[in-house]
Structure 1
Amino acid sequence: EVPVAISKAVEHAKKHLVRIPLREGTIPHEVHGRFGGEHVLLKPASEGTGIIAGGAVRAVVEMAGARNIIAKTLGRGNPFNTVRATLDGLCQLRDPDEVARIRREQVG
């Protein structure tokens, strides 16, 4: 019963993995994530800044592999909604090379 639940959870997690474009340990641009009443602002930071973020956001960006990032949470502070808002913001990130390639295809 429990092993089956664990294997299903692992399969579900593998299906929903997200690639986060990081440049030199930080995100490529500022982004704003929302979920429910929670808003999370994520900003890139220079080398040596570290992770300046609250508990739930800090855990998510550390697991994403960011070493330098600044985050601000706005809202009620519900940890579940904060995590979902952070993931929403991280999913909005686009690699600058990818954006440039897409724009060139559309223009030329």
Structure 2
Amino acid sequence: MAEQRERRRNKKNREEQPSEWQERVIQIRRVTKVVKGGKKLSFRAVVVVGNERGQVGVGVGKANDVIGAVRKGVVDGKKHLIDVPLTNGLSVPHPMRGAGGGAAVLVMPAAPGTGVIAGGAVRTVLELAGVRNSLAKQLGSSNPLNNARATVDALRRMRTFEQVAQDRDIDVRRLFSK
């Protein structure tokens, strides 16, 4: 009996702790599957999960109700987290192009105070990654899922100045000298 009370108390404490992860739903779609008895309705949710400190992921969930689809999307997004290199000005280190499906996204650094100048799913991914100053342009498809995946691809391929210097076997200060 005492064990059950302790378990309930621990469960209650876990639920009260605020999560460091933020979730934003990009898209909810009603999808149908034709089966022998007719059409089967379900919902697909595209969710972006991030901690605004350099980690972000995009997930997709499908269920018979919207809440279940969003919940599955959050779990999927946490499985596909990436680390994003950020500069001191909370921008990306260099321009990068990412692709996902038929979409391509160009992400570029911006001066402090610029803000995130991007549209749709790209803006959501950059904000939840912790980027505060950046320019981005969607190229190709306007599909929110593909644009979110293309943005994650661009952020995944970015490298810091330290990584570039290490790959070239030179000092970081030498990267900036003429």
Higher strand share: 2
Equivalent residue of 1:62, what SS? helix
**Cross-structure match for 2:138:** 73
Contact 2:82/2:156, CA 8 A, preserved across alignment: yes
Q: Which moved more, 1:43-52 or 1:12-21?
A: 12-21
Task: Tell me the TM-score normalized by structure 2.
Answer: 0.52
From 117, 121, 127, give the equivalent of 1:62.
127
**Equivalent residue number for residue 34 of structure 1:** 99
Q: What is residue 98 of structure 1 aligned with on the other side?
A: 163
**Number of corresponding residues:** 102
Percent identical among aligned pairs is 48
Divergent runs of 4+, >4 A: 12-15
Q: Verify: 1:45 aligned to 2:110, yes or no.
A: yes
TM-score computed with the length of structure 1 as normaliser: 0.83
Rg larger for: 2
1:35 shift after superposition: 1.2
Give the corresponding residue for 1:16. 80
Is the helix fraction higher in 1 or 2?
Answer: 1
Cα deviation, residue 15, structure 1: 4.4
Q: CA RMSD in A?
A: 2.4
The amino acid of 1:42's aligned partner reads V
Deviation at 1:99, TM superposition (A): 1.3
**Which consecutive residues of structure 1, in runs of 5 or more, have no partner in the other structure?**
none
